[in-house]
Structure 1
Amino acid sequence: MPRPTIPVVSYPDLLSTTAERQRAIATLGQALENVGFFILEPHPVSPEVVRRAYQVAAAVFALPEAAKVRYSLPQQQGSGGFSSLGSEQAKGYTVPDLKEFWHINRHSLSHAEAPWPQEVPSFRPVMTRLYQQLMACAEVVLEACAEYLGQPQDWLVAMATGGNTVLRLAHYPAVEVAPLGSLRAAPHEDINLITLLCEATAPGLEILTRTGQWLPVQTHPGQIVVDTGDMLQSLTNGLFKSTTHRVVNPQSNNQARLSMPFFVHPRPEVDLTPEPTLVERTGGTAQFPPITAAAYLAQRLGEIQVEPVS
């Protein structure tokens, strides 16, 4: 049986007014229906911004633990910040993931008191630029999703405007011996609407196919991986799939890894009840219960042992 592939969508085609746009939207929509993932290539995020972001992220994660914990998430009350190694574990798992991370969200960008590492002064301007460029890219993708779903073009963008979208800087450190059963990121689904993932610094991402196979996904410069989150799966009554994925441990334990997922969230009050026209499109029965984005986020973050973000 041939190994499944992840479809590729051209960002410039999504912006065009020609038949290429309709073909790109069809490819995008069918990918999220059948795979839950697609690759955006080329994309509008500056390669230099991505390079600098990884550079300053590495500098932050290289700080002593005592310096990093001063910016820890529980102390910041929704303002983003640092979360230490072992602080998160996937739903249904009893061992934590082998990662530490730093969150940057809308509150971080707009409030002077939000935590920014003073030890790395260039961190804030670089991450601000990356966040803004990823958000602009995400809005184009959300418009294409809405068009494929037969909804008003601003249907999803309006939900995401003012939402607590999070840029996560994830560091998977080199480990001499991984604890029994621990992965860099155990199998899970994303919580949000969509996720944009710039190329990581090392391989490890795998997605679970419908046939039960793990498919390695290694992004290259100039590519962004996009996937459906649970919230969009609910809104579409399962038409768009929120696919299980994981980050496996490296063959060489001295290989560290950095990645930068961008989790696009709706506003807290957004109702995730399946859209009636999409219920009809998927058989006529709602597969997901009524719930707000805030309630769903709190529920899921409780399951993975991370403090809710406001």
Structure 2
Amino acid sequence: MVIIPVIDLTAFSSSNAATQQAVVKQICQACHEIGFMYLQNSGISKNLINQVFTHSKSFFNLPLEVKQKQAWSDEFSNTGYVGIERERLNPNNPGDLKEALNVNKQAAVGIDASIVTFYDSCTELANTILQAYALALELPENYFTTRHNQQNHTLRLLHYPPLQTPSKPGQVRAGEHSDYGSITLLFQDDIGGLEVQTTSGEWIAAPAIPDTVVINTGDLMQRWTNHVFCSTKHRVMIPNDDRVKQSRYSIAFFCHPNDDTEITCLESCQKEQSPIYPPILAGEYLLSRLQASYGNS
């Protein structure tokens, strides 16, 4: 049975090389085998996370016409409010039963101080993970962080409202998809619904574990590493019990490389097989994926 590992990040900052390497090995194994992990001792305070969840609930409680004043307009800025069913993460299915607020670094400043602090804290944690990835792949420690230094990341507040009416055939809270960037940080409440697909095609639950952050690898990291690290399909299903009457909230931080970074197969990842993908610019890949998920709906 595949289990998503829980990894304690504390030892990564150890001055003892062997202790640090043990954590790097755990992270490498998780990225290779399942593409998901839970991180303990992430360095982001529980109080700050709670503040962002509180802000998120306040925003989604606003009348629809108020939220629509901040409507998401295009994939180039990729910021603003995304209404229910507006996005189809699985383009073959009906629109997702969720609403979202996409925030970049500039937009965070106009919202709330806690959002700015949280964005910065997520960036710091992402950089630590990217350093661990680099060491796991026999690269200089700053290999990935220097290619992410423009902070082209997206913070996404998500709300999955209670279901008042039956869903359409094939409709879920978030369709089956892989993430587009390098890595994703996910903070979720205890309502549940997140499922992860194993390499054998089985779907397993990824419930909230207190005081952890869910980390998963995205498409661009999979391309960079020639599938040494896998970008795993995941989805959010509709509960089949009373939780269907409750809101689910989560916060995702999508870590993206600088737009002009060429994602080309790493030399250390060509031992098992020759490059699977041609080189692509990070910004071009992100645009193509956003265009597919928003379509013309």
- Compute the TM-score of the two structures, normalised by the length of structure 1: 0.90
1:120 maps to what in 2? Answer: none
1:167 aligns with 2:155: yes
CA apart distance, 1:277: 2.8
Distance change >3 Å, CA 128–CA 306, structure 1 → 2: farther
CA apart distance, 1:178: 1.7
User: Does the CA-based 8 Å contact 2:190-2:208 persist in structure 1?
Assistant: no
1:119 maps to what in 2? Answer: none
CA apart distance, 1:87: 1.1
1:271 aligns with 2:262: yes
Partner AA of 1:275 in structure 2: L
Partner AA of 2:98 in structure 1: K
Partner AA of 1:282 in structure 2: E
Distance change >3 Å, CA 71–CA 306, structure 1 → 2: farther
Partner AA of 1:289 in structure 2: P
2:64 maps to what in 1? Answer: 65
Distance in 2 of aligned mates of 1:158 and 1:14? 19
> Which stretch of the first structure deviates more once superposed, 227-236 or 101-110?
101-110
Name the Cα RMSD after superposition. 1.7
Distance in 1 of aligned mates of 2:260 and 2:203? 35
Partner AA of 2:269 in structure 1: L
User: Does the CA-based 8 Å contact 1:239-1:282 persist in structure 2?
Assistant: no
1:108 maps to what in 2? Answer: 107
1:282 aligns with 2:282: no
Q: Secondary structure at the match of 1:304?
A: helix
2:247 maps to what in 1? Answer: 256
Q: How many residues align?
A: 292
Distance in 2 of aligned mates of 1:90 and 1:75? 16
Q: Which residue, out of 277, 287, 291, partners 1:298?
A: 287
Once the two structures are superposed, the pairs formed by residues 84-103 of structure 1 within 5 Å of their partners are: 84-103=83-102
Distance in 1 of aligned mates of 2:265 and 2:74? 35
Partner AA of 1:185 in structure 2: A
CA apart distance, 1:10: 1.2
CA apart distance, 1:106: 2.1
1:26 maps to what in 2? Answer: 25
Q: Which residue, out of 124, 127, 130, partners 2:115?
A: 127
User: Does the CA-based 8 Å contact 2:9-2:40 persist in structure 1?
Assistant: yes
User: Does the CA-based 8 Å contact 1:87-1:306 persist in structure 2?
Assistant: no
Distance in 2 of aligned mates of 1:163 and 1:268? 10
1:47 aligns with 2:46: yes
CA apart distance, 1:38: 1.0
Distance change >3 Å, CA 129–CA 298, structure 1 → 2: same
> Which stretch of the first structure deviates more once superposed, 54-63 or 245-254?
245-254
Distance in 1 of aligned mates of 2:254 and 2:87? 16
CA apart distance, 1:53: 0.9
2:14 maps to what in 1? Answer: 16
Partner AA of 1:270 in structure 2: T
Distance change >3 Å, CA 76–CA 278, structure 1 → 2: closer
User: Taking every aligned residue pair, what percent have the same amino acid on both sides?
Assistant: 28
Partner AA of 2:287 in structure 1: A
- Compute the TM-score of the two structures, normalised by the length of structure 2: 0.94
Q: Secondary structure at the match of 2:294?
A: coil
CA apart distance, 1:306: 6.4
User: Does the CA-based 8 Å contact 2:71-2:82 persist in structure 1?
Assistant: yes
Q: Which residue, out of 210, 216, 222, partners 1:233?
A: 222
Q: Secondary structure at the match of 2:69?
A: helix
CA apart distance, 1:145: 0.4
User: Does the CA-based 8 Å contact 2:88-2:294 persist in structure 1?
Assistant: yes
Distance change >3 Å, CA 145–CA 85, structure 1 → 2: same
Partner AA of 1:158 in structure 2: T
CA apart distance, 1:160: 1.0
1:214 maps to what in 2? Answer: 203
